[in-house]
Structure 1
Amino acid sequence: MMKNPTETPLWQHGADLLVAQLETLGVNHVFGIPGAKIDKVFDSLLDSHIQIIPVRHEANAAFMAAAVGRLTGRAGVALVTSGPGCSNLVTGMATATTEGDPVVALGGAVKRADSSKLVHQSMDTVSMFRPVTKFSAEVTDGDALTEVVSNAFRYAEQGRGGGAFISLPQDIVDDPVKGQPIPARKPVVQGAAPEDAISEAIGYIRQAKNPVLLLGLMASQAKNSDAIRRLLNKSHIPATSTYQAAGAINQEHFSRFAGRVGLFNNQAGDRLLRQADLIITIGYSPVEYEPAMWNSGKAKLVHIDVQPAEIDNNYLPDTELVGDIAATLDKLSEHINSVLNLSDEAAAILQDRQDQRQLLAVQGHKLSQFALHPLRIVRAMQDIINSDVTLTVDMGSFHIWIARYLYSFRARQIMISNGQQTMGVALPWAIGTWLVDPSRKVVSVSGDGGFLQSSMELETAVRLNANILHIIWVDQGYNMVAIQEEKKYQRVSAVNFGPVDFKLYAEAFGAKGFVVQNAESLEHTLRCAMDVQGPSVVAIPVDYADNPMLMGQLHLSQIL
């Protein structure tokens, strides 16, 4: 870079200014795969403090960046080349936006002069990403480079997080440009919701006999979780949550927590919602759990979030408290002077939920059939997922067993999806999670179907020596699909596949491989795998014979 104190700095390459802007914004890692249209940016990154993480598939770059975004609140960054490099990102960016995870994706593009020609890897990526991101734009002039990048980060990070995409034509990053990095802006902090809305909500709370909190994905942000706990200290209102709000409730309030709800309308939390006369949603989005599944329309509905409600025929709030969630909850807490006396029905629901938790804790390890019952595996996983361990969960029927029966008390200790229900997220999420805090062990879990959709990233984990244990529930099928097909059609289609030697597979990448070979060895094998300092994989044969019970009124006393 050449500097003249009276002129805007001239940079030899646009890529150099782009990297300087990323450094100014506090980016620490960039996940991606290089290519001819974007390789100058990768070259410029070598002269920065930013760590380049080459991945083995572009979708996984977006997943890793999403983990960074979810855990830090600052956008993770994916960097890919033109054409299929960008199109491979779409699933990852759609998942990030649905899950509220801030991600900025930088995609190469052909030179501006070639954008209307049928040339190698020409593609209208801006239009392709617009439906699945909060922001999608191309840099059409070097002078606008830092402006576009800065705005992309602001869109990705503000309010409910999500994806932002920037198309970077090759001549923009290769040619000289004038400009200077725009300083990082402090996050825009909203105030609490307006006083009249808070007063209206307080009126509903005072009149309610059976109020319930329904916690959504934004409730699991640390400061919001802390504010929820302060509200519960004052009110003792019972709560349930979507899968994405795992960890928002701490152990002190666990007796008032009816567990997580999602997918099938048959949980303790669903029963609590059905008997409610007031439902207060906190940080909830309908994509997490469709309102038609839980809202009978009989209860008053209060919406607390950073943005107005997404209106649905089954989600029409009586009042909306829009603003900073934590500040709004603290304002509500100020007006609550007495704790709720639970109705007999609500107390019975919560007590039954507590009894089932205790039953699993005491009896779960006695399920001795092999292949293993899902509850036996969940019980064993609960022993290794202590407060210092973070868990990332893929999509499959195991995901329902874990979401319902494995508990946590730390905000965002568990990363779990129910929006796009994307397979293959767990391992790349785990890698991104470990990079955010290498002092923590990360456990990821998938089925054998989902694992093979992103298992190439085992090489990435080995290269980084990431301290990750990946657990595979093995049944040689897409079982979550199978149980739904069986219910609808009384037969299954296209859900079965062949066996894989996962121990040998893991070791081929340089990871440590384990296989559980009988029920008695489960806990010991998991402890040995947890003791590995670096990537390890455990394959556990699972018996899903009780999966159809997940779609009915499953009570653990039927199994344990």
Structure 2
Amino acid sequence: MTCAEALVRMLESMGVTHVFGIPGAKIDAVFIALLDSKIKLVVCRHEQNAAFMAATMGRLTGRVGVCLVTSGPGVSNLTTGLLTATSEGSPVLAIGGEVPLADRLKQTHQSFDGVSVLRPVTKFAAEVVTPGELGDILGNAVRAAESGRPGSAFLSLPKDIGLAPFEGEIPPSLGRPLKQGPGALSEIEKAAALINASTKPVILLGMLSSDSRDQRAVQDFVRGTSFSYVSTFQGAGKWAGPEERTQFGGRVGIFSNQPGDRLLQDSDCVITVGYDPIEYDTSLWNSTRTGSLIAIDVIPSDQDRNFLPHAEIVGDLSASLDLLLPLLGKTKFAPDYRDSVAKADTELAEIASVGARYSGFPVHPLRVIHELSQVVTDRTTLALDIGSMYIWMGRYFPAKFPRQFLISNGQQTLGVALPSAIAANIARPDSPIISLSGDGGFLFSAAELETARRIGSRFVHLIWDSGSYDMVAFQEEAHYGGRTAGITLGQIDVVAFAAAFGCRGVQINHPDELAPALREALASTVPVIINIPIDYSGNLALMEEVHEAALQ
């Protein structure tokens, strides 16, 4: 058995079901080994997209998604995907080929120190230089990717090591997941005392709160305390709270002007759960507020003058929440406490209701959101790209179950939606998949439509077409007196483009065409691309008081 064959056996023992990648001479031994494996190989069109797909598998399954690429540019093309995975808390194992050991320091074909390049964007990066250490490095890479706040790991495999004989047995517990206990009891008790002394507590749910493995504990905590709560774009959404009474104040992020932001500012005790500052800068919501701050997370928080918790509970989220909840007494809420969250809920509902009444063309964002709300069920997975669309959706489209929304909220990486849709269709084969992007982000990864068609993926992709990089445009307008630069894009024939890949394309020419197009597309056996000319004329309001501007 060669090291390449042993590597595949090890991945099988860890439960890996799919590998996403692009072959090449330095890594072809692993590709050949996959021929005799039950692991399914998905050949992609770009290494960055392979990393995006692996990240989606990791995010939805909780175990590492795996991508496999060749040396040189194959490895360097992983950088954005692995950076995004680490920022978004998605466990990924990337395996890259390398020139033979004797050529590592030579200026030879595709020689490249991938470990040094990828180390800053991963949680672990190492090269296998002897056959005996293959299992050790692989196990450490997987444990690093999956432990604490998940992220990416990189294993470099020189060509001659891949072809070398593997001695010994496959370790039986390689990469075994680690289970944390709850945070320190002293910190839990300190947090309970601070919460019990408060009259306006607010919970801020961050990215890790949306993990399905913590769903029960998060829901028990929200319901058991009856506290108001808000969510980041990646955090547990409205599903975390009860249906019968109002606790949810909406999502917060990007700009500090939402109803949920007012709840945070008015709170005398904010409790963050699984929150990472990369989701929503601490300076935007915690630099001027007074009151206590409690952080509940799986890793210690970075020292930040705008985020210095008075109590910090570091450990397994479910275990920590389960210990904290019984220590909380019956809170004496301030007289206006319930009114504040009810007002926030009403404002968000009023904005969403306006969408049905927009009949102009190009289509208003809220009209698209309204039509989506008519077809999205509690089984539908939504994969969002980055752009103005992501802000509108993040604010006004509620999540109904854990990780229903797949978003790049930390790095805000363009091009993630379509590859995420392909992987989501693999991880959740019984879930309808809808992905969304702007016209700019769509072409970042549209070549993967061929991949989707080849492997039989089914999803609907909505393009919010503005002919521009609009998220950049409206911020430039605000900052530079109405001037913009570098934001104009040309048009493509989406119907013809989709057809070229064996998919279906639909061009929307009136808002009333959207509803039937969505229903028909969801029943399609091939990917469907729906192009929607979008009206972003009011987007400057996204940086202002959207809840007032959208109602005018």
> TM-score with structure 1 length normalisation?
0.95
1:534, CA displacement in angstroms? 2.7
Contact 1:428 / 1:457 at 8 angstroms: preserved in 2?
yes
Which residue number corresponds to residue 75 of structure 1?
A: 64
Q: Deviations over 1:41-89 (max 9, x none)?
A: 1001000000000000000000000001001110000000000000000
| One-letter amino acid of the structure 2 residue matched with residue 112 of structure 1 | L
Once the two structures are overlaid, the 10-residue window that deviates more, 277-286 or 519-528, is: 519-528
Q: Does 1:539 align with 2:531?
A: yes
Aligned mates of 2:539, 2:447 — CA distance in 1: 29
Q: Does 1:520 align with 2:512?
A: yes
1:341, CA displacement in angstroms? 3.1
* Corresponding residue to 2:116 among 127, 133, 139: 127
Which residue number corresponds to residue 476 of structure 2?
A: 485
Aligned positions of 1:438-457 closer than 5 A: 438-457=429-448
Indicate how the Cα distance of structure 1 residues 363 and 553 shifts in structure 2: closer, same or farther if over 3 A, else same: closer
* Corresponding residue to 1:165 among 151, 154, 175: 154
1:438, CA displacement in angstroms? 1.0
1:456, CA displacement in angstroms? 0.5
Aligned mates of 1:361, 1:435 — CA distance in 2: 31
Aligned positions of 1:269-284 closer than 5 A: 269-284=260-275
Aligned mates of 2:45, 2:244 — CA distance in 1: 43
| One-letter amino acid of the structure 2 residue matched with residue 130 of structure 1 | R
Aligned mates of 1:183, 1:437 — CA distance in 2: 28
Which residue number corresponds to residue 8 of structure 1?
A: none
1:383, CA displacement in angstroms? 1.5
Which residue number corresponds to residue 229 of structure 1?
A: 219
Aligned positions of 1:284-303 closer than 5 A: 284-295=275-286, 296-303=288-295
Contact 1:81 / 1:107 at 8 angstroms: preserved in 2?
yes
Q: Does 1:141 align with 2:151?
A: no
| SS of residue in 2 equivalent to 1:118 | coil
Contact 1:307 / 1:323 at 8 angstroms: preserved in 2?
yes
Aligned positions of 1:380-391 closer than 5 A: 380-391=371-382
| One-letter amino acid of the structure 1 residue matched with residue 117 of structure 2 | M
Which residue number corresponds to residue 4 of structure 1?
A: none
Indicate how the Cα distance of structure 1 residues 336 and 246 shifts in structure 2: closer, same or farther if over 3 A, else same: closer
1:343, CA displacement in angstroms? 3.9
| One-letter amino acid of the structure 1 residue matched with residue 469 of structure 2 | Y
| SS of residue in 1 equivalent to 2:204 | strand
* Corresponding residue to 1:113 among 102, 116, 140: 102
| One-letter amino acid of the structure 1 residue matched with residue 207 of structure 2 | L
Which residue number corresponds to residue 214 of structure 1?
A: 204
Once the two structures are overlaid, the 10-residue window that deviates more, 528-537 or 255-264, is: 528-537
* Corresponding residue to 2:386 among 387, 395, 407: 395
Which residue number corresponds to residue 75 of structure 2?
A: 86
Q: Does 1:347 align with 2:348?
A: no
Contact 2:196 / 2:331 at 8 angstroms: preserved in 1?
no
Aligned mates of 2:367, 2:347 — CA distance in 1: 14
* Corresponding residue to 1:267 among 239, 246, 258: 258
Contact 2:250 / 2:345 at 8 angstroms: preserved in 1?
no
Q: Deviations over 1:132-182 (max 9, x none)?
A: 000000001011111111111111011110000011000001222213222
Query: Which runs of 5 or more structure 2 residues have no equivalent in the other structure?
Result: none
Once the two structures are overlaid, the 10-residue window that deviates more, 134-143 or 13-22, is: 13-22
Once the two structures are overlaid, the 10-residue window that deviates more, 97-106 or 352-361, is: 352-361
* Corresponding residue to 1:377 among 363, 368, 381: 368
Contact 1:136 / 1:166 at 8 angstroms: preserved in 2?
yes
Which residue number corresponds to residue 404 of structure 2?
A: 413
Contact 2:467 / 2:488 at 8 angstroms: preserved in 1?
yes
Q: Does 1:470 align with 2:461?
A: yes
| One-letter amino acid of the structure 2 residue matched with residue 211 of structure 1 | P
Indicate how the Cα distance of structure 1 residues 556 and 441 shifts in structure 2: closer, same or farther if over 3 A, else same: farther
Aligned positions of 1:24-43 closer than 5 A: 24-43=13-32
| SS of residue in 2 equivalent to 1:419 | coil
1:558, CA displacement in angstroms? 4.2
Aligned mates of 1:306, 1:330 — CA distance in 2: 14
Contact 2:241 / 2:248 at 8 angstroms: preserved in 1?
no
1:339, CA displacement in angstroms? 5.2
Contact 2:241 / 2:247 at 8 angstroms: preserved in 1?
no
Once the two structures are overlaid, the 10-residue window that deviates more, 497-506 or 54-63, is: 497-506
Q: How big is the alpha-carbon RMSD for the aligned residues of Structure 1 and Structure 2?
A: 1.4
Indicate how the Cα distance of structure 1 residues 348 and 546 shifts in structure 2: closer, same or farther if over 3 A, else same: farther
Q: Deviations over 1:362-400 (max 9, x none)?
A: 432110110011111111111222111100100001100
Contact 1:284 / 1:305 at 8 angstroms: preserved in 2?
yes
Contact 1:243 / 1:417 at 8 angstroms: preserved in 2?
no
| One-letter amino acid of the structure 1 residue matched with residue 164 of structure 2 | D
Q: Does 1:434 align with 2:428?
A: no
Indicate how the Cα distance of structure 1 residues 377 and 74 shifts in structure 2: closer, same or farther if over 3 A, else same: same
* Corresponding residue to 2:491 among 494, 499, 502: 499
Aligned positions of 1:310-321 closer than 5 A: 310-321=302-313
| One-letter amino acid of the structure 2 residue matched with residue 58 of structure 1 | E
* Corresponding residue to 1:61 among 16, 32, 50: 50
Which residue number corresponds to residue 246 of structure 2?
A: 255
Which residue number corresponds to residue 181 of structure 1?
A: 170
Indicate how the Cα distance of structure 1 residues 558 and 97 shifts in structure 2: closer, same or farther if over 3 A, else same: closer
| SS of residue in 1 equivalent to 2:279 | coil
Indicate how the Cα distance of structure 1 residues 343 and 55 shifts in structure 2: closer, same or farther if over 3 A, else same: farther
1:409, CA displacement in angstroms? 2.0
> TM-score with structure 2 length normalisation?
0.97
Aligned mates of 1:267, 1:297 — CA distance in 2: 15
Aligned mates of 2:24, 2:42 — CA distance in 1: 15
Aligned mates of 2:135, 2:375 — CA distance in 1: 45
Once the two structures are overlaid, the 10-residue window that deviates more, 252-261 or 61-70, is: 252-261
| SS of residue in 1 equivalent to 2:419 | helix
Indicate how the Cα distance of structure 1 residues 558 and 263 shifts in structure 2: closer, same or farther if over 3 A, else same: closer
Q: Deviations over 1:431-488 (max 9, x none)?
A: 1111112111111100000000000011111111112111110011000000111111
Aligned mates of 1:186, 1:378 — CA distance in 2: 42
Aligned mates of 1:251, 1:464 — CA distance in 2: 39
Aligned mates of 1:34, 1:505 — CA distance in 2: 26
Which residue number corresponds to residue 6 of structure 1?
A: none
Aligned mates of 1:557, 1:89 — CA distance in 2: 41
Q: Does 1:50 align with 2:50?
A: no
Q: Does 1:328 align with 2:320?
A: yes
Query: Which runs of 5 or more structure 1 residues have no equivalent in the other structure?
Result: 1-10
